[in-house]
Amino acid sequence: MVIAAKPTFRTDAFIDGSYRPAQSGARFTTENPATGQALAEVAAGDAADIDLAVRAARRAFDDGRWSRRAPADRKRVLLGFADLLEASLEELAMLDSLEAGKPITDCRTVDVPDAIRTFRWFAEAIDKVFDAVAPTGPEALGLIVREPIGVVGAVVPWNYPLLMATWKLAPALAAGNSVIVKPAELTSLSTIRMAELASDAGLPDGVFNVVPGLGETAGQALGRHMDVDMVTFTGSTEVGRYFLKYAAESNLKEITLECGGKSPQVVLANPPDLDLVAEQVLIAGLMNMGENCSCGSRLIVDRSVHDALLERLVAGIAAWPVGDPLDPATRLGPMIERPHLDKVLSYIAAGRDEGARVVAGGGRTLEATGGYFVAPTILDDVRNTMTVAREEIFGPVISTIAVDSEDEAVALANQTTYGLAASLYTKDLDTAIRVARSLRAGTVGVNAYSEGDVTTPFGGYKESGFGGRDKGLEAFEQYTQKKTIWFTLRG
């Protein structure tokens, strides 16, 4: 496949329908993690720019230019926007690949198409959801109506730049809110471009704003702003906690958190075809370089099939070439940045120190490129108490833990502070249902790794999530609030 030419970078904030630099004039540099070279100088928005965007969003919300449009009308605009995203697929894929180091094939076939599908699905859904009438007696009529929340801040991470912004934007915009996105400082370009396309599609000014900038400044300003009604966040659990604090110390804005994970992949004694299991386990552990909140980083496997599965996993890694993200054959790009590379390598070292055995990978690779590549790594002889089994590594590292029974497998799977996703493998239907019900996670994949699709809610149990779900009709819950309108009838 021919690679498109390097796209033009839009690097300013997008506020009230137009591009503008940060009011301070400050910029920060993003780099290409596959080369370590500078890529773009992006506007470093701060509290003043967030305030400008919030004011624009509030004006747009209050005058009803979007919030009071008929749902069918919002649908039409958002479907047009999805068409423009589709026409720009190559450009958007290239932006995420260059800035996040994501394999271009994934960007073309997963990230951008999923984002388009998500906008279309929420656009199509919004004029098909009904409000409710309360079961009153004849003396009253009680309407329970759903209204948009108002001004929504979306603070998103770098691992799926376009898609994570979309999971927030699509339901929030469809429901009639005005949105300000604060992208991760490492990956702003595709979101900035997306805002322009939305404007081209007819989204009114002020409804979709993007303020790039640092978390501690722009992110915090959004979290503490007195006129933001809600913040929807995806990222680390640690920063998720900050948003709860910001809300508590400001205007009690609503907060929804989609945070980290340490997701188990449970392979029981009677698994389906082991070749298939191995393929799925590698996808779960290595997809997006393991920089994935639902990464299946803990492989909990019955001792009776442990050796046969491990052999297949080690052989299967050959199907995961590491290399230039712009090469369509590449399945593993670099880590997002140098500090993250160091963090992932330090986890592998901790695994070794605590007694794990490296059976594949185990270190940096392709160093001459200047990029931050890690070889896909499998650790064996891991115990669930080790650092590599407890903490989110966010790299291409699978930790293997052998167990002797279903009960032990389930107990270890649940022995984590996280609860985002899990997978289980068994040929027995009763076992599958029993174990799926026992796993404390927001999504459980049976005989395959899966996050579900746009129709199903996505979010975490325990410290993986709080306050709502991305995707599915459930996502409308977090971007709307319910109002009771009560009529007392006389006569």
For the annotated catalytic residues, the residue numbers are: 258, 293
Q: Are strands 18-20 and 13-15 parallel, antiparallel or unpaired?
A: antiparallel
DSSP structure class, residue 276: H
Minimum CB–partner distance for residue 375 and ligand NDP (Å)? 19
Q: Is the dihedral of CA 101, 374, 298, 186 positive or negative?
A: negative
Does residue 161 bind ligand NDP (CB under 6 A)? no
101 makes contact with ligand NDP (CB under 6 A): no
The smaller minimum CB distance to ligand NDP, of residues 157 and 362, is found at: 157
Asked whether position 212 contacts ligand NDP by CB under 6 A, the answer is: no
> Is the torsion defined by CA of 252, 159, 164, 59 positive or negative?
positive
Among residues 34 and 289, whose Cβ is nearest to ligand NDP? 289
Stretch that binds ligand NDP, among 99-107, 143-151, 236-244, 358-366 (CB under 6 A): 236-244
Cβ atoms within 10 Å of 64's Cβ, excluding its own: 11
Q: Measured in whole angstroms, how far is the alpha carbon of residue 277 from the centre of its chain?
A: 25
CB of 261 to ligand NDP, least distance (A): 7
Closer Cβ to ligand NDP, 176 or 290, answer by number? 290
| Residue 219 in contact with ligand NDP, rule: CB under 6 A | yes
Query: Hey, which residues does 361 pair with through a beta bridge?
Result: none
Q: Which of residues 383-412 bind ligand NDP (CB under 6 A)?
A: 392, 394
Token couple for 465: 């999530």
Strands 298-302 and 373-374: unpaired
H/E stretch holding 357 reads strand 357-360
- Using the rule CB under 6 A, which residue among 184, 207, 388, 424 binds ligand NDP? 184
Kindly state the DSSP code that residue 5 receives in the 8-state scheme. P
CB 97, CB 324: distance < 8 Å: no
- Give the nearest distance from C-beta 136 to ligand NDP in angstroms: 43
How many angstroms separate the CA atoms of 454 and 117, rounded? 8
Q: Min. distance of Cβ 333 from ligand NDP in angstroms?
A: 15
* Minimum CB distance to ligand NDP, residue 16 (Å): 21
168 is an interface residue for ligand NDP by CB under 6 A: no
Order of strands across the sheet that contains 178-182: 18-20, 13-15, 208-210, 178-182, 151-155, 230-234, 254-258, 465-466
214 near ligand NDP, judged by CB under 6 A: yes
DSSP letters for 430-479: HHHHHHHHHS-SSEEEESS-----TTS-B--SGGGEES--BSTTHHHHHT
Buried b (16+ CB within 10 A) or exposed e, 30-53: bbbbbbeeebbebbbbbbebbbbb
**CB 152 to ligand NDP: min, Å:** 15
The verdict on 236 binding ligand NDP (CB under 6 A) reads yes
Binding mask 238-267 for ligand NDP (x = CB under 6 A): -x--x---------------xxx-------
Among 293, 295, 309, 454, binds ligand NDP (CB under 6 A): 293
**Does 182 participate in binding ligand NDP (rule CB under 6 A)?**
yes
Using CB under 6 A as the binding rule, whether residue 348 contacts ligand NDP is answered as no
Nearer to ligand NDP, 271 or 376 (CB): 376
Q: How far apart are CA 110 and CA 398, in angstroms?
A: 22
Contact characters 33-62, ligand NDP, x per CB under 6 A: ------------------------------
The count of chain residues that interact with ligand NDP, using the rule CB under 6 A, is: 26
Distance CA 145, CA 410 (A): 42
**Closest CB 49 distance from ligand NDP, rounded Å:** 14
* 92, 117, 194 from 163: Cα distances, Å: 11, 10, 11
* Residue 204 or 376 having the CB closest to ligand NDP: 376
Between residues 176 and 445, which has the closer beta carbon with respect to ligand NDP?
445
Selected from 101, 161, 223, 396, the binder of ligand NDP by CB under 6 A is 223
* Token pair 């790794």: residue: 449
Q: Are 14 and 206 in contact (CB under 8 A)?
A: no
Nearer to ligand NDP, 24 or 270 (CB): 24
Least distance to ligand NDP, CB of residue 407, Å: 29
The residue (of 196 and 470) whose beta carbon lies closer to ligand NDP is 470
Shortest Cβ 188–ligand NDP spacing (Å): 9
Residues within the interface to ligand NDP (CB under 6 A): 155-159, 182, 184-186, 214-216, 219-220, 223, 234-236, 239, 242, 258-260, 293, 392, 394
